[in-house]
Amino acid sequence: MKFAIFGNTYQAKKSSHAENLFRLLAQHQAQLCVCREFYNFLTSDLHLNIPPAELFDGDDFRADMVISIGGDGTFLKAASRVGKKNIPILGINTGRLGFLADISPEEMEETIDEIYNNHYKVEERSVLQLKCDDEKLMEYPYALNEIAVLKRDSSSMISIHTAINGAHLTTYQADGLVIATPTGSTAYSLSVGGPVIVPHSKTIAITPVAPHSLNVRPIVICDDWEITLDVESRSHNFLVAVDGRSESCKETTRLTISRADYSIKVVKRFNHIFFDQMIDTGFLGILGVFDVVVFVPDKQEVVALPIQQPEELNRIFIRIFPEFFVLASQI
């Protein structure tokens, strides 16, 4: 089995986890190809004893599985390099908080054994695609988490004329607007008041950043709808961030956002369940009253469930959506 390995280059004190990963893969006689920047960081900067491996730059690699060792930021970088290759990605979390990279260093040995025993699941996560006439943004216009439109640091709030499938929705007067996938609903979107969305929901969340009107709230739409944004700014430019990669755009730039024609495959252990992860990371406990957005396949509806206590989750699903509980329990 051949693995392509990505890692961050700024956590020297956690480099022992990378050494352990290479040791575990060597025990299974795995074939390795490693991102050149990461390999040089481990061998030249940290002087670690890493076995020789095939090196690659950018997205010039082939593998059966990609391993990202770091945090969710490293995972997003790996996902951008994988792109349409259809290679599943395993995220090992050595950072602070991991929803995508959710395998702890202590779980590495068990997880590698499970992979070689073909005992794991692969989840498909939707991706957003941005279309515009800005060449820099078009170099990689795909986002696994979110696409954000933001004002410049020194400017006043911006006006974002928003249309869905060509029909005018509203004009947001705010510091920005976050368009998030279900995967990205626990990232930037959540920090600006967006809903948490179950990963397999076929939806997109639109959440304003610091809106001028308190009546403006996030909205969840179907992910096969197209969003068009026209921005007005006193500074005549604004920022567009695609999974954190930001570029300045002119006021005349029209942005079109839709679901991409491919998905990212994420490797998960069978005992890793989305709701357990929410509780373990403290999201449910901290927020108290909490909305979980789910898509009910039989009813073809998107439903927001207010949750008072984390333990209510299973009870609500069984009572209201028994046909959905089986799907939710597999997430």
DSSP 82-100: HGGG---EEEEE-SS--SS
261 is annotated as an active-site residue: no
- Tokens of residue 294, six digits: 């789910």
- For 150, 181, 250, the CA distances from 260, given in Å and listed in that order, are 22, 11, 24
- How many other CB atoms are there within 10 angstroms of residue 36's CB atom? 14
Residues 93 and 71: beta-carbon distance below 8 Å: yes
**Cα–Cα distance list, 290 to 184, 195, 197 (Å):** 17, 8, 11
* Residues facing 162 on adjacent strands: 170, 229
What distances in angstroms separate CA 136 from CA 73, 133, 241, 245, one per listed residue? 20, 9, 12, 10
Describe the crossing of helices 322-329 and 312-320 by its angle, rounded to 10 degrees: 140
Calpha distance 200→197 (Å, rounded): 8
The Cα 172–Cα 152 span in angstroms is: 16
Strand 254-268, strand 167-174: pairing: unpaired
Structure tokens at 3: 């693995």
CA dihedral 276, 305, 209, 207 (to 10 degrees): 100
Which residue among the candidates 45, 57, 59, 72 is catalytic per the annotation? 72
H or E stretch at 202: none
DSSP-assigned letter for residue 13: G
Is 103:269 a contact under the CB 8 Å cutoff? yes
List, by residue number, the catalytic residues: 72
